Structure 1
Amino acid sequence: MKCHICEFRCNIENSKIGSCGMYQNINGQITERFKNSYLFVNPISIETQPMLHFFVNHKFLQIGSVGCNFKCEGCVSNIFVKYIDIYKNAFKKLSAQEIVQKALEENCKGISFGINEPTMHYFSLLELAKIAKENKLLFGISTNLYYTKESLFQLIKYLDFVNVGLKGYTKETYRKFCKAPDSKPVYRNIVYLFKNNVYFEVSIVYSKGVENELINVAKFLSKLSKQIPLQIMRFIPFDKASGELEPSIKESENLVEELKKHLDYVYLFNSPGTKYLDTNSDNFDIKRSFYGPMGAHIISIKGKPNCIIGDISKKDYEEDGFFGGYRITRALEMVIGILNALNVTDKKTIASVITEILKDKTFLNFFHETQDDINSNLENYFDIVELLAKLSNANPKKLIDFYKEILDDIKLKRKKIDKKLKSYYVMGTPIFALNTHRFENKLASFVGLEVLKLEKEGKPGINISKETLISYNPDIVFISGFISCKTEDFIDYCQNHNININATKYKKVYKLPFGWDFGSVEWIFGLMYIANVAYPHIYNFNIESKYFLFNNKKYTPLNKSFYTGIG
């Protein structure tokens, strides 16, 4: 029997499962394997979805689960796509009415489905969308839009907004990057949304070498309307994707300028500190900042809107810790990295641990606080290791002893520091400062460096003025190994914006290797790296030999044990 929900149109035999793993044929009827089953039900700001021109700054209830019909290398959600069955016992079973009731209790403007692909939950969402509309709640989805005509026809009457996640423009690109037969159904469905007056924004990943694809996307959209917002998601090498595909922020900003020749509103994500997250028009201005992978956050709004759908909320909403948007994917990747370091690779055991974690928000709150809280320190990381070891029946001693030996060595040697250097830890461009108490700055502080004290904080930091940076005048700069920028781009930015600081003057700008700072089980190597370059007359760690002891392999940018898969 054929499944007519997405354009793969799987032929599913009785009692068998489709290629996506989410639908099965039961006595001649296509049914969801996990109906009304969700992993996440959390309030978010709509910019976290992300939607930038739709009911700006309003709170929505975001729901998400597992599964996808595409197989995209380096997808931020792969941890919820590739390992469907390990989450079975972690699902929250919630009826459509229960979700609507929660949205109403949270005073949400509407409900949005994100994190994984909504075509995987077609019947659940169709029912939910109907009840949401009956209760005067807005309803929308983030989707690859690979619906069949007939399935989208049923759903479209209940959709208020859509974030369309494109993978490219041509058939060849879709076949190569997401193993989909053709791109035509997606572009057919975009036209269908447009003709049916469903508000949508378009997002697309930008990796090196696909510039012409993005230009063709912009040209296609401009024929419908030059005012369709286009969100450029700078490629970040999640999962096991190659870091060589990651374009620099500077390259991405140049592409945005090219795309603006075709569309009025083009935005750049995954690029902390960029000005290309802002909306600028004659009488209206919105300033936004980076807010975690694929997310944005409102800084200020001025003037009268002329390009926004719906009213603008005057009340900000900020999600807690790892909750909301794609930050949860980072949290679970960190957990799996620690389990790998504890030599826990059995799928059944990992599934059991993840089930325990997702059942109770307490763990993820604890996990976040031990790394990004004013009262935590590096030794608190051992508490996470010990808890995960307990849940997986592993022995944490070898891993903790490895950490402790290096920490004790640093404690002893840092007594020799007679004058602390001022350090500055950034993510992306020079003006995006990481939170004072974030894990990266704890690394810098531990080796004996002074860190910039911010009056306000964000997720994972905030934009600061160039005057603030000049006034602080750091002696040494560290660029995060995650969502990063090149050292030469950092220096060029400072030169072009007249930011004269000691760190650039004396060429003390260092980019951390991928996976060697926040959250990664390999943060200990970032700590040694920072120590060596900050105070070379005091510290002299042989990082390569330590790395081999830890991983039994040489370090290369491709040995990303932090993102090691499950089983």
Structure 2
Amino acid sequence: MKCPVCEIGCDIAEGRSGRCRMYVNRNGTIVERFPGSYLTMLPITIETMPMVHFAPKSKFLQVSTVGCNFACPGCISETLTVHADAVAGALTTASPEEVVRRAQVEDCTGIVFCLNDPAASYFTFLALAREAKAAGLRVGCSTNGYFTEHALAALTPFLDFVNIGLKGSSDERYRECGAKSADPVFRNIRTLHEKGVHVEVSAMYIHGAEDEVLNAARRVAGISPDIPLQVMRFVPFGEAAPGLEPTIRESEHVTDRLRTFLRYVYLFNSPGTGYLNTVCPVCGTTVLEREFYGPMGCRTSAALEGGRCPCGWQAPVRGEICAEQYTEYGMLGGYRTTRAIEMAHAILVTLGIRDDKELGAVLGDIVREDFIRGMHDRIHQVDSWLGLIAELAARAGREEEGRELISFLRERTDRIVAGSALAETRPRVYYSMGYPLFALNAERFESNLVEAAGGTCVNKRLKRKGKPGVNITVDELNELNPEYMFISGFLSSPASDYLHYCTEHGVESDAVGAGKVYNVPAGWDFGSPRWILGFMFLANTIHPEIFSFDLEHEQREFYRRFYGITGDKFVANRDFSRPVIGAPGDE
């Protein structure tokens, strides 16, 4: 029997599932494997979805499930899609009425389905959307847009806004994700736009694939040049090769080109860029100012009243700009939640757990028990980080492996703390993500590691907070005047681009003058127990007169003992739970 949900059109035999594994043929009817079941259900601001031109700063109830009809290389939600069965144990059932009541109790404007694709839970989402609209709530979703015409026609009357995630423009690119062609997506964008649904599109920009983004934007412009386009700078997760990641500077150049035929183009996954702002095309005034707010998300940090420029130009937003900004707690909300799940996954992998069934037994419990809420508070200090490992090891029945990992981390941490106590000076150190003007929060783990390594983290003088940091001004950075500047190994920028930005924008710190700007290696400072390698890197750099860790040896030893990976050469990526690609001896 043919599945009616998406254009892949799986023929599903009785008792079997299609390629997404989320539907089964039961007595001649296609039904969901996990009907009415949700992985997350929590309030977010709409920009976290992300959505930029619809009801800015408004609070919505985010729901997600597991699974996806696509299989895209480097998917940021891989834990929820590729490893869907591993986290299915965390699903909780709720009727449409119960979800709507939750949205109302939370004082949400509406409900949005994101993180994984609603095509994986189509009938659940359709029932929820119908109930939410009947209750006067707004409804939206983030999707790859591969619905059949029939499935979309049934859903459209209940949709207010949609973010369509484009994989490119060519059939070849869509086949890489397991689809047949690109045409159904652009057909559905046109249908939604013509039906009056507010449509925004996000396009993944992969290094070397500029034409895919440019041609996709041209096809969108053919529908309407007013449809906002969100350029998603590709970050290599999973098995994606690091060379596919474009720099922020390259991404800004592509964004400039896209703006020649689309009116509203924004750049995401690029902390510190100014290309998230809505600027008046008449006089150049910034009308809506935004900043990075976690992977795939942003936050409206400032807005002129009503979105109107003093010259009279009106920003093209639908719905009112909310007066107050809702702030999600910790890692709850948007794709930060997937990072939290992957951090737990990353610890379990270092304990030797790599089987989906065994992973699922632990991940299912911790997500169901709201473990993620408290997890945010435990990843900013060494002792609490080690306690987190101990707890997960106990839950997984891997206490011995946990003790071995903790011993490895503790021994090196103690050496750094003892050595830094001997330092005659404590240099001023600044920790940023992406471009220079995005400062990590004062209480972040990276900031605390700087202090433990014998530096004075100037980020601690900043009072504002974001996720994982905030935009600051050139004057603020010059006032901090760091002697060392580090660029995060998570969402990064080459040191050469970073210094170019400093020169171009008048950043004149001692670090810039002395060329003491350093990239922390990918995956070494956030998201997994590999932070110990970043800690040793910081110590070597800040106090070379005290520390001389052999980082190549330390990396080989860590990977051998805790990943079962041997060899001298590693192709590193930014994935938390999968540290290298195609390494010899990778188990």
Task: Give the TM-score of the pair, scaled to structure 2.
Answer: 0.93
- In structure 2, distance between residues paired with 1:423 and 1:409: 20
Preserved CA contact (<8 Å) 1:513 1:557: no
Aligned-partner SS, 1:288: strand
Residue 458 of structure 1 is matched in structure 2 by: 466
User: CA offsets, 1:486-528, max 9 Å, x none?
Assistant: 0001100111112111111111111011100023210000000
Preserved CA contact (<8 Å) 1:336 1:564: no
- In structure 2, distance between residues paired with 1:127 and 1:460: 35
Aligned-partner SS, 1:527: helix
Once the two structures are overlaid, the 10-residue window that deviates more, 330-339 or 426-435, is 330-339
Residue 383 of structure 1 is matched in structure 2 by: 387
Deviation, 1:172, is: 1.4
Deviation, 1:89, is: 2.1
Residue 332 of structure 2 is matched in structure 1 by: 323
Residue 562 of structure 1 is matched in structure 2 by: 576
- In structure 2, distance between residues paired with 1:518 and 1:101: 37
- In structure 1, distance between residues paired with 2:525 and 2:472: 22
Aligned-partner SS, 1:223: helix
- In structure 2, distance between residues paired with 1:76 and 1:426: 22
Residue 213 of structure 2 is matched in structure 1 by: 214
- In structure 2, distance between residues paired with 1:262 and 1:562: 37
Deviation, 1:108, is: 0.6
Residue 311 of structure 2 is matched in structure 1 by: none
Deviation, 1:346, is: 3.3
Once the two structures are overlaid, the 10-residue window that deviates more, 43-52 or 209-218, is 209-218
Matched, 1:57 2:63: no
Aligned-partner SS, 2:140: strand
- In structure 1, distance between residues paired with 2:179 and 2:128: 28
Matched, 1:516 2:524: yes
Deviation, 1:91, is: 0.7
Deviation, 1:240, is: 2.3
Amino acid at match of 2:389: V
Preserved CA contact (<8 Å) 1:514 1:557: no
Instruction: Specify whether residues 249 and 561 from structure 1 end up closer, same or farther in structure 2 by C-alpha distance, changes over 3 A only.
Output: closer
Identity of counterpart residues, as a percentage? 41
Instruction: Specify whether residues 77 and 349 from structure 1 end up closer, same or farther in structure 2 by C-alpha distance, changes over 3 A only.
Output: same
Matched, 1:495 2:503: yes
Residue 291 of structure 1 is matched in structure 2 by: 293
Residue 117 of structure 2 is matched in structure 1 by: 117
User: CA offsets, 1:132-169, max 9 Å, x none?
Assistant: 11100011110111011111111111111100001010
Amino acid at match of 1:83: H
Residue 104 of structure 1 is matched in structure 2 by: 104
User: CA offsets, 1:411-457, max 9 Å, x none?
Assistant: 22112211110000000000000011101111111111001221111
Matched, 1:201 2:200: yes
- In structure 1, distance between residues paired with 2:274 and 2:554: 40
Once the two structures are overlaid, the 10-residue window that deviates more, 337-346 or 118-127, is 337-346
Unaligned runs of 5+ in 1: none
- In structure 2, distance between residues paired with 1:231 and 1:112: 18
Q: What pairs up with 1:426-437 in 2 under 5 angstroms?
A: 426-437=432-443
Q: What pairs up with 1:63-212 in 2 under 5 angstroms?
A: 63-176=63-176, 178-212=177-211
Residue of 365, 382, 402 corresponding to 1:356: 365
- In structure 2, distance between residues paired with 1:467 and 1:88: 49
Preserved CA contact (<8 Å) 1:440 1:518: yes
Instruction: Specify whether residues 123 and 206 from structure 1 end up closer, same or farther in structure 2 by C-alpha distance, changes over 3 A only.
Output: same
Residue 505 of structure 1 is matched in structure 2 by: 513
- In structure 1, distance between residues paired with 2:330 and 2:573: 28
Residue 270 of structure 1 is matched in structure 2 by: 269
Once the two structures are overlaid, the 10-residue window that deviates more, 234-243 or 131-140, is 234-243
Amino acid at match of 2:374: F
Segments of 4+ moved more than 4 angstroms = none
Aligned-partner SS, 1:75: coil
User: CA offsets, 1:455-481, max 9 Å, x none?
Assistant: 111100001110011111100011000
Residue of 438, 447, 451 corresponding to 1:441: 447
Deviation, 1:547, is: 1.8
User: CA offsets, 1:23-76, max 9 Å, x none?
Assistant: 111111111111001100010000001110001110000000111111100010
Instruction: Specify whether residues 559 and 78 from structure 1 end up closer, same or farther in structure 2 by C-alpha distance, changes over 3 A only.
Output: closer
User: CA offsets, 1:383-419, max 9 Å, x none?
Assistant: 0010000000112111111111111211221122111
- In structure 1, distance between residues paired with 2:466 and 2:209: 32
- In structure 2, distance between residues paired with 1:252 and 1:417: 41
Preserved CA contact (<8 Å) 1:426 1:434: yes
Once the two structures are overlaid, the 10-residue window that deviates more, 418-427 or 547-556, is 547-556
Amino acid at match of 1:521: P
Instruction: Specify whether residues 443 and 352 from structure 1 end up closer, same or farther in structure 2 by C-alpha distance, changes over 3 A only.
Output: same
- In structure 1, distance between residues paired with 2:344 and 2:125: 30
Residue of 463, 469, 472 corresponding to 2:477: 469
User: CA offsets, 1:196-215, max 9 Å, x none?
Assistant: 11111000110111111211
Preserved CA contact (<8 Å) 1:238 1:563: no
Aligned-partner SS, 2:501: helix
Instruction: Specify whether residues 162 and 559 from structure 1 end up closer, same or farther in structure 2 by C-alpha distance, changes over 3 A only.
Output: closer
Preserved CA contact (<8 Å) 1:240 1:563: no
Deviation, 1:555, is: 5.7
User: CA offsets, 1:236-282, max 9 Å, x none?
Assistant: 11222111100000000011111000011000000001111011124
Preserved CA contact (<8 Å) 1:547 1:555: no
Residue 225 of structure 2 is matched in structure 1 by: 226
- In structure 2, distance between residues paired with 1:411 and 1:558: 27
- In structure 2, distance between residues paired with 1:148 and 1:483: 35
Once the two structures are overlaid, the 10-residue window that deviates more, 344-353 or 433-442, is 344-353
Residue 241 of structure 1 is matched in structure 2 by: 240
Residue 582 of structure 2 is matched in structure 1 by: none
Task: Give the TM-score of the pair, scaled to structure 1.
Answer: 0.97
Aligned-partner SS, 2:158: coil
Residue 490 of structure 2 is matched in structure 1 by: 482
Residue 392 of structure 1 is matched in structure 2 by: 396
- In structure 1, distance between residues paired with 2:271 and 2:71: 27
Once the two structures are overlaid, the 10-residue window that deviates more, 277-286 or 387-396, is 277-286
Preserved CA contact (<8 Å) 2:523 2:573: no
Aligned-partner SS, 1:285: strand
- In structure 2, distance between residues paired with 1:272 and 1:325: 16
Amino acid at match of 2:442: T
- In structure 2, distance between residues paired with 1:154 and 1:494: 52
Amino acid at match of 1:68: C
Residue 346 of structure 1 is matched in structure 2 by: 355
Preserved CA contact (<8 Å) 1:87 1:354: yes
Preserved CA contact (<8 Å) 1:237 1:245: yes
Unaligned runs of 5+ in 2: 308-313, 561-565, 580-585
Residue 422 of structure 1 is matched in structure 2 by: 428
- In structure 1, distance between residues paired with 2:356 and 2:162: 35
Amino acid at match of 1:533: T
Preserved CA contact (<8 Å) 1:240 1:560: no
- In structure 1, distance between residues paired with 2:574 and 2:59: 36
- In structure 2, distance between residues paired with 1:332 and 1:88: 13
Residue 255 of structure 2 is matched in structure 1 by: 256
Amino acid at match of 2:248: I
Matched, 1:530 2:538: yes
RMSD of aligned residue pairs (Cα, Å):
1.5
- In structure 1, distance between residues paired with 2:416 and 2:83: 40
- In structure 1, distance between residues paired with 2:576 and 2:89: 24
